[in-house]
Amino acid sequence: MTDTMKHTLLFVFVGVMILLEGMTDVLFFSGSWNSALVILNMGLISAIMAIGVNIQWGFAGLFNVGIMGFTALGGLAVVLVSTPVIPEAWSSGGAGIVMALVMGALTVVAAVMITKFMPAGRLRALVLAVVMIAGFFVYRAIFDPSVSSVEAINPALQGNIGGLGLPVLLAWPAGGLLAAGAAWLIGKTALGLRSDYLAIATLGIAEIIIAVLKNEDWLSRGVKNVVGLPRPLPYEVDLQNDPSFVERAASWGLDPVTASTVYVKAGYALMFTVVLLALLWMAQMALKSPWGRMMRAIRDNETAAEAMGKDVTRRHLQIFVLGSAICGIAGAMMTTLDSQLTPGSYNPLRFTFLIWVMVIVGGSGNNFGAVLGGMLIWFFWIKVEPMGILLMELVTSGMAEGSALKAHLLESASHMRLFTMGLILLLVLRFSPRGLIPEK
């Protein structure tokens, strides 16, 4: 069997699994097209995230463990771009907040300038401390009252700065931009240090981003969540009330409720597939371009590349920003799909380390591998729970009814998910360390 055939079969396998999920309810399948499409949609988004990480790790060996943060920034972009404008928020405190943020930024810039241009010594440390502390208090003095006035506006529903009221699809590239901006800042600091500290920097920043989203109520309502975000597709209720849609559904032999949910989810699937294919195509083009060849040359021998006059840090920064932007886009897509932003639900196991499992299992350095890994691992992530319950029922079938162990085992079956992900990762790392679709 040739490699191409094997790889195609792997994709076919994932496809068949999702089809079976829709068609039959034997074993762990649910037999619901709705569920199949839900898996497919998040699988497509996961595949996009995996491409972003694969670009960083596969092409440049950058170990990013802050994927969660970039995804969350994408989500924030959806709120900031697509929710309606709240004029009162801007008139009462918006300007103050912007001014405070500018002040904060200026303080940081001033601090950087001082460290750069003043001779090292006690004086510099003193000036630096004074500027930083003064800057912080000025920032808080402007920031705090503005924030409380913004948060006071209709707190049950809004209490935040609102958005721009633009079409939600614009939020996807905006999410990419936001993530790229953050990545630039992180990369500039962490990659510029004498030896790079990217992993710990991204790990920390991701937590900070989530902390900001959870606490800065003026921005995205914090843990109160933003719900009912605008969506690019019609609402199911509207479809069900549309006579022509009901008629068409009837002609396929579907009831209106099922038809409308499937219609909307299929619509998302289509849009996500378009984005995925576009990004995949671009990633493939980039990989084959002189730029991609240079990236791989740097990866395989950094010293030689440096000797040839390549600015390695700059290239690394470039690719880090690009990869993070892709994660940001995926994050925006995910928030659009959920049509809500819930900062409390971001968890590094799910949003950072699971993506790593996808990349490693799929094949680091291969974009198709990343896509496969994204879809496959997501399928397992969802289906391991029913599989676990099935397994536990089998294991406990011989046990006495009402035994404590049996109850515990059945109850804990749902926790097998993390265990299984670890097992899959270890098995792949051991027996197929380059992943299912290895880099050529």
Partner 1 sequence: MSDNPYQDDHGNKDASITNLKGAGTMQPAHQKSGPTHKVDGGPFLIGDTMTGGYGKGPDILHDCTIAVDKGEIAVIVGPNGAGKSTAMKAVFGMLNVRSGTVRLDGEDITQLTPQDRVIKGMGFVPQTSNIFTSMTVEENLEMGAFIRTDDFRDTMEQVYDLFPILRDKRNQPAGELSGGQRQQVAVGRALMTKPKVLMLDEPTAGVSPIVMDELFDRIIEVARTGLPILMVEQNAKQALEIADKGYVLVQGRNAYTGTGKELLADPEVRKSFLGG
Partner 2 sequence: MDLLNALVALTNFVIVPGLAYGSQLALGALGVTLIYGILRFSNFAHGDTMAFGAMVTILVTWLFQSVGLSAGPLPTALLALPFGILGTIALALFTDKTVYRFYRQQKAKPVIFVMVSLGVMFIMNGLVRFIIGPGDQRFTDGERFVISARTFKKLTGLDEGLAIKTTEALTVVTAVIVVAVLFWFLNKTRTGKSMRAYSDNEDLALLSGINPERVVMYTWMIVAALATIAGVLYGLDKSFKPFTYFQLLLPIFASAIVGGLGNPLGAIAGGFIIAFSEVTITYAWKKVLTYGLPDSLAPDGLVQLLSTDYKFAVSFAILIVVLLFKPTGLFKGKAV
The contact set with partner 2 (CB under 8 A) reads 61, 63, 136, 189, 193-195, 197, 199-201, 203-205, 207-208, 211, 214-215, 347-349, 353, 356-357, 360, 412, 415-423, 425-426, 429-430, 433
* Out of 22, 43, 52, 61, the residue judged to bind partner 1 by CB under 8 A: 61
Nearer to partner 2 by C-beta: 99 or 410?
410
- Taking contact as CB under 8 A, which single stretch among the options 1-9, 24-32, 119-127, 198-206 is the one that binds partner 1? 198-206
Nearer to partner 1 by C-beta: 261 or 364?
364
Tokens 């003193």 map to which residue? Answer: 126
Binding mask 335-364 for partner 1 (x = CB under 8 A): -----------------------------x
The torsion of the CA quartet 139, 145, 146, 152, rounded to 10 degrees, works out to 150
**How far is Cα 426 from Cα 36, in angstroms, rounded to an integer?**
27
Of partner 1, partner 2, none, which one does residue 360 interact with (CB within 5 to 8 Å by kind)?
partner 2
Tokens standing for 119?
A: 């001779």
Number of amino acids touching partner 1 (CB under 8 A): 23
We find the least distance from the C-beta atom of residue 208 to partner 1, in angstroms, to be: 16
CB 279 within 8 A of CB 326: yes
Of partner 1, partner 2, none, which one does residue 118 interact with (CB within 5 to 8 Å by kind)?
none
Nearer to partner 1 by C-beta: 207 or 302?
302
Nearer to partner 1 by C-beta: 124 or 434?
434
Contact between 269 and partner 1 by CB under 8 A: the answer reads: no
Nearer to partner 2 by C-beta: 214 or 248?
214
Contact between 207 and partner 1 by CB under 8 A: the answer reads: no
Of partner 1, partner 2, none, which one does residue 299 interact with (CB within 5 to 8 Å by kind)?
partner 1
Of partner 2, partner 1, none, which one does residue 198 interact with (CB within 5 to 8 Å by kind)?
partner 1
Nearer to partner 1 by C-beta: 65 or 249?
65
Nearer to partner 2 by C-beta: 232 or 348?
348
Nearer to partner 2 by C-beta: 203 or 266?
203
Contact between 198 and partner 1 by CB under 8 A: the answer reads: yes
Q: Write out the residues near partner 1 by the rule CB under 8 A.
A: 57-58, 60-63, 195-201, 298-302, 364-365, 433-434, 439
